[in-house]
């Protein structure tokens, strides 16, 4: 099965929760009026798009229909599809440059952070990139062991120390090893201590100082892993992490099996941070770079007008 097919299947619950009711709404009205706009906003909120983003989408539709003098619901549907497409945004696909690329991976426990690292490693290895892992989550018991399983599975080296070690020291060792091995990508797992934001800020600042000193010419990204199935809680997490770190991209896991995929619209609208990877299954191939047009095509595929 292709990733596009997995994406289509993975988005089924979100389509049922969001697209089908919206389509039914457009079909039940001949002309667009205020009752229609109110119902559309309610449907979007119930599909976990969020109040702020739902209001924006409805207001944008209202303005476009007014500007184009469109009153028919069937024509309004096409405008709304265009608005959704724009809201997902342009591709946030990871851009690797020549030399060492360092990916700092952050996120609370339970969102699939370690698994995402393993799958991103697989994805980059398939592209011919030389990848190394750094187990800088020394706070959580067994974090390094779990990451080692993924390193072995992908046949890539991993740098780690004992539990409780200084994460910045792990990164120091890992940069030295990555340079020696001429690695293309160093992926750093970090502790997800959102409940103690000061520790998180201090830890990330120290890691970044080590990178500044030891690999000043490296390309650096900080990717936040979010669990799509938590809906609006994922957005809250992203905002909190944003206060502690300069997030450059998002990894959205567990889009399959959730009706809350509408969160991807809210994330783009409210955070302005690109989604770089999405996960639609448990297999090692089921996390891939995010392609917005593919996402929208999968979302509207088989739509019955």
First-residue to last-residue Cα distance in the chain: 27
The whole-model pTM stands at: 0.87
Please say whether the beta carbons of 37 and 62 come within 8 A: yes
Secondary element (H or E) of residue 28: helix 20-28
pLDDT of 58 higher than 80: yes
Please say whether the beta carbons of 120 and 150 come within 8 A: no
73-88 vs 263-271: helix crossing angle, rounded to 10:
60
Distance CA 250, CA 31 (A): 39
- List the one residue out of 30, 90, 91, 26 whose CA is nearest residue 61: 26
pLDDT score for 281: 82
pLDDT of 283 higher than 70: yes
pLDDT of 101 higher than 70: yes
Whole-number percent of the chain with pLDDT over 70: 93
Highest mean pLDDT among 27-31, 235-239, 266-270, 292-296: 27-31
Please say whether the beta carbons of 234 and 228 come within 8 A: yes
pLDDT of 305 higher than 60: no
pLDDT score for 304: 46
Please say whether the beta carbons of 53 and 269 come within 8 A: yes
Least confident of 26-40, 199-213, 252-266, 275-289: 252-266
Please say whether the beta carbons of 228 and 252 come within 8 A: yes
User: Tokens at residue 28, please?
Assistant: 């039940």
272 to 36, 161, 295: CA distances (angstroms): 29, 36, 18
Mean per-residue pLDDT for 37-46? 93
User: Tokens at residue 52, please?
Assistant: 């702020």
Which domains are seen in the chain, by residue range? 3-88 (1.20.120.140), 101-289 (3.40.50.300)
Please say whether the beta carbons of 117 and 104 come within 8 A: no
pLDDT of 176 higher than 70: yes
- List the one residue out of 205, 201, 211 whose CA is nearest residue 242: 201
- φ/ψ (deg, to 5) at 189: -85, 135
Sheet of strand 158-159, all strands in order from the earlier edge strand to the far edge: 158-159, 131-135, 185-189, 101-106, 219-227, 249-253, 275-279, 287-289
């Amino acid at each position: 099965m292709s990733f596009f097919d997995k994406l289509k299947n993975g988005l089924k619950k979100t389509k049922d929760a969001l697209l089908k009711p919206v389509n039914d709404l457009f079909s039940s009205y001949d002309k667009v009026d205020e009752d229609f706009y109110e119902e559309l906003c309610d449907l979007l909120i119930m599909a976990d798009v969020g109040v702020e983003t739902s209001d924006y989408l409805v207001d944008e539709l209202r303005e476009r229909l007014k500007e184009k003098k469109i009153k028919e619901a069937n024509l309004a549907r096409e405008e709304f599809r265009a608005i959704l497409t724009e809201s997902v945004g342009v591709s946030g696909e990871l851009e690797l440059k020549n030399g060492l690329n360092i990916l700092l991976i952050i996120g609370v426990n339970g969102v699939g952070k370690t698994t995402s690292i393993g799958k991103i490693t697989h994805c980059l290895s398939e592209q011919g990139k030389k990848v190394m892992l750094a187990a800088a989550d020394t706070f959580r018991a067994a974090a390094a062991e779990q990451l080692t399983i993924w390193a072995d599975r992908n046949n890539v080296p991993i740098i780690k120390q004992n539990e409780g070690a200084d994460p910045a020291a792990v990164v120091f060792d890992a940069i030295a090893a990555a340079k020696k091995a001429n690695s293309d990508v160093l992926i750093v797992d970090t502790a997800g201590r959102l409940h103690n934001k000061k520790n998180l800020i201090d830890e990330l600042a120290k890691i970044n100082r080590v990178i500044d000193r030891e690999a000043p010419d490296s390309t650096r990204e900080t990717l936040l892993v979010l669990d799509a199935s938590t809906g609006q809680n994922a957005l809250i997490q992203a905002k909190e992490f944003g206060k502690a770190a300069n997030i450059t991209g998002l990894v959205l896991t567990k889009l399959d099996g959730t009706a809350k995929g509408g969160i991807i619209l809210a994330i783009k609208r409210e955070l302005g941070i690109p989604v770089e990877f999405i996960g639609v299954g448990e297999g090692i191939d089921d996390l891939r770079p995010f392609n917005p047009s593919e996402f929208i095509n999968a979302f509207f595929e088989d739509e019955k007008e």
